[in-house]
């Protein structure tokens, strides 16, 4: 081959290698800039670079929305579904992580210039004045060229010729993808928010446990440099304000809640300057320092408040008293009241008492009762009477799951010494023995019957295997009507006894996934079981159920996601220990711990468990 031909081949080789790489990156599209032709997987693309991928997503879907939230990741917990319910609009949360106010302006100019926009919510976090106009050099931090005056050709070319590693990683992640968010797909594409389903089933009531698990995420070092971009931040807000006025768009500005360590990382002068600069440009709701700032459980980490707090913010703005908020919570700051507001904020910060928003709750777990117990899990009437009498004498007042929900959701106080008595499986002895004794002492209990064995008196289901008698629907209705007994769920049929079910190889003794069961099949099984039970409860008792005790106390994070996703508000494990309920945090009702009471438990022992 002649040298000239070789040079031609060389040039062609370089060109074709570049073309192959570009083709690969365009098809797999790890940043979503080319419309993700193969996967349409925006929760992944947005995780890689929310700036590019969210705008690319909106290019396809902007017709489905008419209102937007703009902010950094501290805006992630403002839920478009709630906003839609309050306003009747169709919101999309356009927050991006690591956002600075230059990005805010770019986004606002672009969507107001190109899409139909009725409402705009601008969320300003405390760190927004820390950086300005950063990230343009990196694939993961660059703004979509459409929202800037940078060259679109260069933009697309650079993503086509991006590091092929990104596309390879997307393929690998695709193979590992599950229903639950993982580090590579943290977004929920249709709403634009973070998919917090996994994080929001974590047990967070016990502060010590929470701090042990996440303490490092709450460590903040003092920001000695202060907030260098206050001026730019205020100018950005002013620019968006003017733009909204010009386009007739309804603008709401929120200063989001800040964890106390993050707040204290700045000195008073810096914070005052920041708040005042904002107030000089626009009125805004300030939620930055409120009683929740002092409790890490209201935050995912030092810079991100929980979705539950997002609900509280929206309830405050839209006046929904069904959602608990501490007092004070949120102030509409204006140029006029700003100085006075800041004075009072710094002079008397809203430090709460722990008891203002938390309650300790012991839960007792019983099963079967009988005159002559064959084992210590069966309680004799005498023992039960002694135990209940001891509780009543010691001043304990029984509560039910509705009380717990009312406490957490609306802040309705529990009795001073609350106790929740529960009974699993739905034995007839609950009806014949326990009910009467409870009534006698003015106590109440919650029973978790198994749906498929309601009324089984002699035999297990339709087999000929003998069974301890279970109460039937009539008896259940009778107990319910008395107000002493509440009937919730122990699943419809996920607490079976496999030896009695030779014909049913898929029989489940608990709610764990079966060996080798696919995620889809497991989710379908759980959902179907919950729906079946719910249908029965509705048919027989006229209302949905709201609480579930996990059979044998076994569950996974995914079980919790499925169960709470189906609307169940309270779940119970069998782990021994007290629970801490926190107002406003529904997930403190998840997987509540229970003390197993046996026939050998003496009243003193019982009271010992419950002592604060």
Q: Using CB under 8 A, list all residues that contact another protein.
A: 1-7, 9-10, 13-14, 17-18, 20-21, 138-139, 161-165
Taking the complex as a whole, how short is the minimal distance between the CB of residue 161 and another protein, in angstroms? 6
CB 452 within 8 A of CB 496: yes
CA distances from 90 to 9, 10, 86, 194 (A): 56, 54, 10, 18
CB closer to another protein out of 7 and 481: 7
CB 49 within 8 A of CB 99: no
Q: What is the dihedral sign for C-alpha 79, 82, 87, 91? A: positive
CB 472 within 8 A of CB 514: no
CB 555 within 8 A of CB 571: yes
Taking the complex as a whole, how short is the minimal distance between the CB of residue 139 and another protein, in angstroms? 7
Q: Which residues lie closer than 8 Å to 99 by C-beta, 6 or more apart?
A: 51, 71, 72, 73, 128
Taking the complex as a whole, how short is the minimal distance between the CB of residue 514 and another protein, in angstroms? 35
Query: What's the rounded Cα separation, in Å, for the pair 327 and 586?
Result: 19
CB closer to another protein out of 20 and 481: 20
Q: Quickly list DSSP for 180-227.
A: S--TT--B-TTT-SB--TTGGGS--SSHHHHHHHHGGGG-----TT--
CB 563 within 8 A of CB 530: yes
CB closer to another protein out of 25 and 270: 25
Taking the complex as a whole, how short is the minimal distance between the CB of residue 30 and another protein, in angstroms? 13
Taking the complex as a whole, how short is the minimal distance between the CB of residue 187 and another protein, in angstroms? 23
CB closer to another protein out of 153 and 219: 153
Taking the complex as a whole, how short is the minimal distance between the CB of residue 133 and another protein, in angstroms? 20
CB 271 within 8 A of CB 293: no
Taking the complex as a whole, how short is the minimal distance between the CB of residue 155 and another protein, in angstroms? 15
Query: What's the rounded Cα separation, in Å, for the pair 319 and 310?
Result: 14
Taking the complex as a whole, how short is the minimal distance between the CB of residue 170 and another protein, in angstroms? 15
Secondary structure letter of residue 388 according to DSSP: H
CB closer to another protein out of 139 and 473: 139
CB closer to another protein out of 151 and 163: 163
CB closer to another protein out of 94 and 167: 167
CB closer to another protein out of 145 and 160: 160
Helix (H) or strand (E) holding 356: helix 354-357
């Amino acid at each position: 081959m002649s040298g000239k031909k070789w040079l031609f081949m060389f040039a062609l080789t370089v060109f074709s290698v570049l073309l192959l790489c570009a083709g690969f990156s365009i098809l797999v599209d790890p940043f979503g800039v080319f419309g993700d032709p193969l996967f349409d997987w925006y929760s992944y693309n947005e995780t890689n670079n929310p700036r590019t991928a969210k705008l690319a997503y909106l290019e396809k879907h902007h017709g489905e929305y008419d209102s937007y939230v703009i902010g950094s990741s501290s805006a992630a917990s403002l839920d478009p579904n709630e906003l839609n319910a309050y306003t009747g609009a169709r919101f999309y949360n356009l927050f991006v992580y690591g956002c600075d106010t230059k990005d805010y302006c770019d986004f606002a100019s672009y969507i107001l210039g190109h899409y139909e926009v009725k409402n705009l919510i601008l969320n300003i976090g405390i760190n927004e004045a820390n950086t300005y106009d950063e990230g343009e050099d990196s694939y993961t931090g660059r703004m979509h060229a459409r929202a800037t005056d940078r060259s679109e050709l260069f933009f697309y070319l650079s993503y086509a010729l991006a590091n092929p590693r990104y596309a390879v990683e997307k393929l690998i992640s695709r193979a590992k993808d599950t229903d639950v968010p993982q580090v590579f797909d943290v977004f929920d594409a249709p709403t634009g928010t973070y998919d917090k389903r996994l994080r929001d089933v974590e047990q967070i009531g016990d502060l010590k446990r929470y701090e042990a698990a996440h303490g490092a995420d709450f460590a903040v070092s003092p920001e000695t440099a202060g907030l260098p971009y206050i001026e730019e931040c205020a100018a950005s807000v002013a620019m968006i304000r003017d733009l909204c006025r010009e386009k007739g768009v309804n603008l709401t500005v929120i200063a989001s809640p800040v964890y106390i360590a993050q707040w204290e990382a700045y000195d008073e002068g810096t914070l005052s300057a920041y708040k005042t600069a904002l107030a000089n440009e626009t009125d805004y709701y300030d939620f930055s320092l409120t009683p929740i700032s002092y409790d890490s459980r209201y935050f995912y980490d030092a810079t991100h408040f929980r979705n539950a707090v997002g609900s509280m913010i929206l309830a405050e703005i839209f006046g929904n008293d069904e959602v608990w908020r501490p007092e004070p919570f949120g102030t509409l700051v204006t140029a006029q009241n700003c100085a006075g507001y800041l004075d009072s904020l710094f002079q008397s910060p809203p430090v709460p008492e722990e008891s203002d928003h938390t309650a300790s709750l012991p839960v007792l777990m019983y099963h079967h009762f009988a005159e002559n117990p064959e084992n210590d899990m069966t309680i004799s009437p005498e023992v039960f009477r002694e135990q209940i009498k001891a509780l009543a004498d010691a001043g304990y007042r029984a509560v039910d799951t509705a009380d717990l929900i009312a406490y957490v959701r609306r802040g309705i106080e529990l009795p001073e010494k609350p106790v929740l008595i529960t009974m699993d499986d739905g034995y007839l002895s609950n009806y014949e023995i326990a009910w009467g004794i409870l009534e006698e002492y003015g106590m109440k209990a919650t029973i978790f019957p198994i749906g498929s064995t309601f009324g089984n008196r002699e035999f297990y289901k339709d087999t000929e295997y003998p069974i301890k008698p279970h109460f039937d629907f009539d008896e259940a209705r009778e107990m319910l009507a008395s107000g002493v007994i509440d009937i919730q769920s122990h699943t419809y049929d996920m607490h079976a006894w496999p030896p009695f079910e030779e014909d049913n190889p898929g029989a489940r003794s608990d709610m764990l996934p079966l060996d080798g069961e696919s995620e889809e099949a497991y989710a379908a099984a759980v959902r179907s079981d919950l729906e079946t039970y719910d249908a029965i409860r509705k048919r027989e008792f006229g209302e949905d159920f709201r609480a579930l005790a996990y059979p044998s106390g076994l569950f996974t994070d995914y079980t919790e996601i499925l169960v709470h996703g189906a609307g169940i508000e309270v779940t119970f494990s069998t782990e021994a220990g007290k629970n801490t309920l926190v107002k406003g945090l529904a997930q403190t009702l998840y997987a509540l711990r229970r003390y197993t009471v046996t026939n050998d438990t003496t009243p003193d022992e019982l009271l010992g468990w419950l002592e604060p």
